[in-house]
Structure 1
Amino acid sequence: MLNMLRLPYLPSLLLSSIILTSFSINSQSLEYPPTIKRPTINEYHGYQVMDEYQWLEEIDRPEVRIWVEAQNDVSQKHLRKLANRNNTINMLNEYMLQKKRWNTYANINFSSNHESNYRLFYDDDLSAPSIYYRERSFNDYRVLVDPKFISNNDRIVIENFAPSKDDRYLAYLYSRNGSDWREIKIQSTEGSVSPPEILTGVKFSNVSWLNNGFFYKKYQQGAITDQTLDSEVYYHRLFTEQEDDSLVFKTNSPYDDFQLSGTYQQDMYVLEIHNPIKNQYSYLYFDPTSDIKAFRPLHYKVNYSLEFIDFKHGHLFMEATIHNKSQIIAFTAQKPLEIRRVTPEYEDAQITGYELMDDKIVVSYQALSKPFMTVVDLEGNILKEVDLPGGVSVSNMSYQKASGDFIFLLQSFTIPPVVCKLDLNNYDYSVVERTGVNFDFQSFKFSTQYFPSKDGTMIPIFIVYKNELKKDGKTPFLLSAYGGFGVISNPHYDPGIIYFIEQGGAFAFVHARGGGELGFDWWKNGRLDQKQNTFDDVIAAAEYLIDEKHTQPAKLGFIGSSNGGLVAGAVLTQRPELFGAVVIKVGVLDMLRYERFTVGPKWVKEFGSASDSLQFLNLASYSPYHNLKEGIEYPPTLLVTAHTDDRVPPLHSFKFAAALQGLSGSNPALLWTQQGTGHSGAANVSEKVENKAFVYGFLHEHLLRKD
């Protein structure tokens, strides 16, 4: 579909063509709504690129809303039919029940400095979790904040919360309809009058308490698709209006973004200033015990990032990337360049978490298929290396100072999270609470294998299957990858994967370049002008599974979300013959215009910018929307997006679906736009079940059905 012409050769006829298109898919009895083609010409560095569906970027325009509703009428009816036909909803509901129970334990707000008094519980299947507060005994909880009472019209989800040091007040952040925008309210825990103010314009912010108020970050809030720019840090004092808040920090650059973090003890605060266009960082600190009541420099205009962990014994503990590895380092505010490395380095493992105590740090590492924990003192001496089972991941490590308990969670793609306790005296761990399952998890097996990518680089793939992995080419396989932003992808419980495997399939996750599983260089070799490596790795994975006779193209599917949605779109357009079905969830699909919307400017260091002539050519070479071609039979495709997704706005999916439906292929190309939710999907259990049932009912129809 990429129609790039040198300026002198652009046909003037393109500007006047308006075409109505309607398509029928005989094999599926699907008829899509008519979509208007309104060719728009965008100029890039001497090239003109025609965009026939740019009008769909105006997502709140009445005609776009009508078009989306018509698309949903088709897709939801069809997806519900498939889910019912394959009994997908009932079966997934059984697997989701285990996750419902788990969620009551998962969202405990832990702190290493005090015993937590807060938990999130689902009250019912139709509501988002409420905040419960413990007053007297461990099990004596009462509802403190119920999201149902915040709004009668919007779907409210509590996203985060932070108690004041004296535990008298709880500041909590919540979203409306899945948006990344947050509002902050404050609740009294003592039954006294709560501060009435509501803070708005908050995004990607935490809350750092100081005395009778807290720091937070805000932006100028506009339409859903507006760029997120002009970050500012404010201090809010309780029982005052937001308009009276004190501006703490801002710069002249609209692209500078800030993150302020403080300790629970309120003895140190660190401000990060990040310019994503220049990929440059600066760090300032504020010591409230000092006579100097201002932020002072630590590191200025550096090309590495630091994450503030805590302040202990006069040292700031930070996470940093050193020699291609994430490390925990320590230094004093007075001598910030005298850095001491605290954590050991392992050749084939990356840090995935840590918990800092008064005299030691417990650090979790993830090798490709096997995690472990290392306990070190604050000088960096290894106290113990704790071996853990293969095929799982560690998360939610927390030390409860009052009880002395150190809790962490283990989970895998096929086992819901298990609560474990680490004995800090002998460093043995034991299982505290198991989540019951109604399937034989011991019959699930896994293996890590390697295959060569296009350039010869050996790529790891993690395969999950039941009983045995056959080589008869008949096993339905679901492939997935993320491959972006240096993210370390760990095994996590997914009821959809259980469903797919229980129906006779197998699952594989590709640790493609662009991810962080093998360090900084692995990320670097899958970003900017090396982004094609990510797609080559996934394509090679598909070829490997086929060549090894584990599966065949008609039974091989791919599912990807967010950056993984970009991967899905890229492999779909580059090698459509390899796949029997593709699911693209909230994917970034128009790579020439992505940076014009919402948080797109923050992604320039990952993808590059169309404003740069060389980067433009690279983006155009793989942009999924611009590389659809007439005459190609694309596999059955489901695009899932959300109207209030202001991270990856739905316009990406709208335009891609319109273009794909406008081709002459015979396979389904469905667009499903969820309402009242955002980038992370449904908030309550009932909708989570239905959403997964729609996706896996679609995959079942095209990959698992035997008739």
Structure 2
Amino acid sequence: MISRRNLLHFSRALHLHYFSQVRQTNFRVFSSFSEKMSPSNFKYPVARKDTVVESCHGKEIADIYRWLEDPDSEETKSFVNAQNEISEPFLQGVEWKQLNEKLTKLWNYPKYSCPNKHGDKYYYFKNSGLQNQSILYQQDSLESDASVFLDPNELSEDGTIALSSTKFSDDGKFFAYGLSESGSDWNTIKIRDVSTGKDFDEALEKVKFSLIDWTLDNKGFFYGRYPEQDGKTDGSETKQNENQKLYYHRVGTPQVDDVLVAEFPENPSWRTTSHVSDCGKYVVLCIVKDCRDNIVYYSELDGEIKGKLNVKKVVEKFEADYEFIANNGSKFYFRTNKNAPNYRIVEIDFENPAEENWKTVLQEHEKDVLDWAVCVNQDKVLVGYIHDVKSLLKVHNLTTGDFIKEFPLDIGSVGGFTGKRKSAEIFYQFTSFLNPGTIYHYNFSVPNEEPTVFRQININLDGFNKDNYKIDQIFYPSKDGTKIPMFIVRRNTEKITPKPCLLYGYGGFNISIQPSFSIAGLMMADTFDGLMALPNIRGGGEYGEKWHNGGRLFNKQNVFDDFQGAAEYLVQNNYTTHEKIVIQGGSNGGLLVGACINQRPDLFGAAVAQVGVMDMLRFHKFTIGHAWCSDYGNPDEKDHFENVLKYSPLHNVKAPKSANEEYPSTLILTADHDDRVSPLHSLKFAAALQDAVKDSKYQKKPILLRVYSKAGHGAGKPTTKRIEEATDIFTFIMKSLNCEMKHL
């Protein structure tokens, strides 16, 4: 199941999942910090300063690196090459090779998804360990041998073609799947005949931010696509994504014959996802314009789809989230935060849809957040709650809301789930900081039985013992006194002493960062005798809409204060020192890192900013950036312009005028096919930082930019590239914090 929020803006934060099996290695950094970081070793490329100046709401804004917004210019390409010529040699060497060998062994263990039944077959994904892409397997029963159904690794030699979306027809006879290349959000949809294992001739192009939604007659599906545009559309372009339209495709026909069923030309930023009802008589359209709040339309499906749908409105105002769960006839069930910041489930009768007629089926919980809901076993709804950042899993009656049961969970999160309304069988995968995955099986037809372990995923780490590690969850005060939860992963020792610390954050878009397995924590705890800390800063969804609103728009500074407060807490409580802290974040988390090293460079020893949003005055002008105005505000409006200008990483760079203002060692990472957050953000930020520090006698630490090729925002990245990036990051951490490799 793909949630609406995962289609809109960023992928979930780019957690570093570094896996198992490592041999014991001990070595010390070969050169001291001062030797490696000598400013004479870093002669940064001279980036031309343009003369572009714009008047924005009465203020003159210079944009001297605007030329870097053109990814195809020879000047931009030369700048990127020159940056890589500095960063690659620094990151390479004997340390890189040894860390890469170690990470490769850590990664090499089998990974599985939850099984799911389609037609009379079961399907699941498996990666044997180091395969670039996971393989989709088919089996007749849960006990029978499995055979390969689709292997994306056969589609490209380097693994850069990835499976980005999948959907079987209701009868299980057809399989529609999306493919993305080089990490781009652009998809090509293909269709496979399950009985023969062969694909039909058609390929659906120009697909982006779209679900695949089959009609129950199994003849075709709805999908969203964008119109043809001038120039390239391979993920390396910067043109805005506008005017998405909803189409219906019939199996076995060319895309040119697809039926346009819905479009909203007067609202070019709208994006539509469709949900065919359980009975097959309706299609629900959930329409978004940014990254929160949607409206709800629907149409009856009666006979062959030949033209535009007769759309009727249910919810007309963008003021809350509505996620379709199920229907019984004209009565439809939605998860919503309308008048319920922690979400509730409501019943809306489409024959009488006025809000005063809505019925609350499952009340909002006072503290716990209703994070997701799925209809299973005919009349039941499986709901996932977040309780103080940990997952709870409960079952209620769909129509009455009556509580039925709760599944026992340890401290962690539900990282995967499969199940259907017409089936009594479900699977769910539990994960935690020290558990890569336990897949449970439960059958509602035998309600007295407890869930059973279907598959335990194990890391291949010799001598690994969970008892050697300790997970702390603490609550620390932010600048305004708000208590912020934070997990700390460390070795289980009686005495807390200052250690190297990886501090990871995100803080935005209602995205919750829950406990999940990450070898980043094990690497820090064992390899560097350190710790990893994950604060659940505001802007996320850990405590519902109140938490999200506390870190968006004019409250965005709270996010940075929360993150900086985490660093201060860790130092004050003897977990680490400022010189031993490396901060890391990706996407919106990259913005977090960029803003924090501008505001409080004295708090951190090093920083890793991945695919970050760095130009807060122009983010809305590229690809899908306009959708982020719901979290950041629209810079075209004076109040929002003045707000984002205060923290925009690009516009708040300053030359260090004292040792206390020296920037931490900084590694900026981006990729040439990132069409979510265009690499121009990182390029401009790196140019500004390097120019600001190049003549400062106080700046001893490097500012490095690394640009990867044939890679995007993160989704679908092949294993080899993930390990390469992880090696770069840990080599940088090792050198910047002057760590020693120990343990394992």
TM-score, normalised on structure 2?
A: 0.85
Residue deviations 1:123-179 (CA, integer Å, cap 9, x gap): 783532343334577544433333355467982101111112232221111101100
- Work out the CA distance in 2 between the residues paired with 1:367 and 1:124: 33
Deviation at 1:34, TM superposition (A): 3.3
Matched, 1:476 2:500: yes
Deviation at 1:399, TM superposition (A): 3.0
Which structure 1 residue ranges, 4+ long, deviate > 6 Å from structure 2?
A: 290-293, 400-403
Deviation at 1:671, TM superposition (A): 1.0
Match of 2:245 among 228, 232, 235: 232
Residue deviations 1:93-142 (CA, integer Å, cap 9, x gap): 232123xx11xx2265x36x866633334478353234333457754443
Q: How has the CA–CA distance of structure 1 residues 463 and 347 changed in structure 2, closer, same or farther, with 3 Å as cutoff?
A: farther
| Map of 2:15 onto structure 1 | none
**What amino acid is the match of 2:465?**
D
Residue deviations 1:564-612 (CA, integer Å, cap 9, x gap): 1111111111000000111101111110110010111111111011111
Deviation at 1:552, TM superposition (A): 0.8
Contact 2:160 2:716 in 1 (8 A): no
- Work out the CA distance in 1 between the residues paired with 2:263 and 2:424: 41
Q: How does 1:679-698 map to 2 (within 5 A)?
A: 679-680=713-714, 683-698=717-732
Residue deviations 1:164-213 (CA, integer Å, cap 9, x gap): 22322211111011000111111111228642111111001011112321
- Work out the CA distance in 2 between the residues paired with 1:352 and 1:552: 36
- Work out the CA distance in 2 between the residues paired with 1:427 and 1:362: 17
| Map of 2:28 onto structure 1 | none
Contact 2:664 2:701 in 1 (8 A): yes
Contact 1:79 1:697 in 2 (8 A): yes
Q: How does 1:195-594 map to 2 (within 5 A)?
A: 195-210=200-215, 211=217, 212-220=219-227, 222=229, 223=232, 224-251=237-264, 252-263=266-277, 266-276=280-290, 281-288=294-301, 294-312=310-328, 314-321=330-337, 322-336=339-353, 337=355, 338-357=357-376, 358-378=378-398, 379-390=400-411, 392-399=412-419, 404-422=424-442, 424=444, 425-426=447-448, 428-437=450-459, 438=461, 439-468=464-493, 470-472=495-497, 474-502=498-526, 503-594=528-619
- Work out the CA distance in 2 between the residues paired with 1:515 and 1:655: 27
| Map of 1:73 onto structure 2 | 85
- Work out the CA distance in 1 between the residues paired with 2:160 and 2:100: 23
Q: Which moved more, 1:70-79 or 1:509-518?
A: 70-79
- Work out the CA distance in 2 between the residues paired with 1:496 and 1:192: 39
Matched, 1:643 2:672: yes
| Map of 1:174 onto structure 2 | 179
Q: Secondary structure at the match of 2:435?
A: coil
- Work out the CA distance in 2 between the residues paired with 1:689 and 1:39: 41
Structure 2: gaps spanning 5 or more residues:
1-35
| Map of 2:29 onto structure 1 | none
Q: Secondary structure at the match of 1:515?
A: coil
- Work out the CA distance in 2 between the residues paired with 1:291 and 1:92: 54
Q: How has the CA–CA distance of structure 1 residues 696 and 682 changed in structure 2, closer, same or farther, with 3 Å as cutoff?
A: farther
Matched, 1:132 2:137: yes
Match of 1:142 among 135, 147, 151: 147
Contact 1:641 1:674 in 2 (8 A): yes
Q: Which moved more, 1:229-238 or 1:319-328?
A: 319-328
Q: How has the CA–CA distance of structure 1 residues 418 and 148 changed in structure 2, closer, same or farther, with 3 Å as cutoff?
A: closer
Contact 2:489 2:521 in 1 (8 A): no
Contact 1:165 1:264 in 2 (8 A): no
Contact 2:734 2:740 in 1 (8 A): no
- Work out the CA distance in 1 between the residues paired with 2:139 and 2:496: 54
Matched, 1:95 2:106: yes
Matched, 1:44 2:64: no
Q: Which moved more, 1:574-583 or 1:26-35?
A: 26-35
| Map of 2:627 onto structure 1 | 602
Deviation at 1:684, TM superposition (A): 2.5
Aligned length: 674
**What amino acid is the match of 1:677?**
A
Deviation at 1:531, TM superposition (A): 0.5
Deviation at 1:405, TM superposition (A): 3.4
Matched, 1:675 2:709: yes
- Work out the CA distance in 2 between the residues paired with 1:151 and 1:547: 50
Deviation at 1:382, TM superposition (A): 0.8
- Work out the CA distance in 2 between the residues paired with 1:89 and 1:646: 28
- Work out the CA distance in 2 between the residues paired with 1:420 and 1:107: 8
| Map of 1:6 onto structure 2 | none
Deviation at 1:58, TM superposition (A): 0.5
Q: How has the CA–CA distance of structure 1 residues 126 and 410 changed in structure 2, closer, same or farther, with 3 Å as cutoff?
A: closer
- Work out the CA distance in 1 between the residues paired with 2:740 and 2:147: 51
Deviation at 1:470, TM superposition (A): 4.1
Contact 2:335 2:372 in 1 (8 A): no
Q: How has the CA–CA distance of structure 1 residues 302 and 51 changed in structure 2, closer, same or farther, with 3 Å as cutoff?
A: closer
- Work out the CA distance in 2 between the residues paired with 1:141 and 1:190: 15
Q: Which moved more, 1:144-153 or 1:191-200?
A: 144-153
Q: Secondary structure at the match of 1:258?
A: strand
**What amino acid is the match of 2:448?**
N
- Work out the CA distance in 1 between the residues paired with 2:675 and 2:589: 17
Q: Secondary structure at the match of 1:325?
A: coil
Q: How has the CA–CA distance of structure 1 residues 671 and 254 changed in structure 2, closer, same or farther, with 3 Å as cutoff?
A: same
Match of 1:156 among 154, 161, 167: 161
**CA RMSD for the aligned pairs?**
2.7
Contact 1:352 1:365 in 2 (8 A): yes
Q: Secondary structure at the match of 2:133?
A: coil
**What amino acid is the match of 1:426?**
N
Deviation at 1:25, TM superposition (A): 5.6
Deviation at 1:227, TM superposition (A): 0.7
**What amino acid is the match of 1:216?**
Y
Q: Secondary structure at the match of 2:92?
A: helix
Contact 1:554 1:579 in 2 (8 A): yes
Q: How has the CA–CA distance of structure 1 residues 386 and 169 changed in structure 2, closer, same or farther, with 3 Å as cutoff?
A: closer
Structure 1: gaps spanning 5 or more residues:
1-23
Residue identity over aligned pairs, in percent, reads 31
Q: Which moved more, 1:530-539 or 1:414-423?
A: 414-423
**What amino acid is the match of 1:380?**
G
TM-score, normalised on structure 1?
A: 0.89
| Map of 1:18 onto structure 2 | none
**What amino acid is the match of 1:411?**
T
Q: Secondary structure at the match of 2:436?
A: coil
**What amino acid is the match of 1:333?**
F
- Work out the CA distance in 2 between the residues paired with 1:245 and 1:406: 35
| Map of 1:57 onto structure 2 | 69
Deviation at 1:643, TM superposition (A): 0.6
Q: Secondary structure at the match of 1:483?
A: coil
Q: Secondary structure at the match of 1:329?
A: strand
Matched, 1:634 2:649: no
- Work out the CA distance in 2 between the residues paired with 1:118 and 1:389: 27
Deviation at 1:350, TM superposition (A): 1.6
Contact 1:181 1:203 in 2 (8 A): yes
Q: How has the CA–CA distance of structure 1 residues 397 and 577 changed in structure 2, closer, same or farther, with 3 Å as cutoff?
A: same
Q: Which moved more, 1:557-566 or 1:216-225?
A: 216-225
**What amino acid is the match of 2:429?**
L
Residue deviations 1:390-421 (CA, integer Å, cap 9, x gap): 2x111322237898432211111232111123
Q: Secondary structure at the match of 1:77?
A: helix
Deviation at 1:542, TM superposition (A): 1.0
- Work out the CA distance in 2 between the residues paired with 1:656 and 1:622: 13
- Work out the CA distance in 2 between the residues paired with 1:478 and 1:123: 29
- Work out the CA distance in 2 between the residues paired with 1:248 and 1:432: 42
- Work out the CA distance in 2 between the residues paired with 1:582 and 1:116: 48
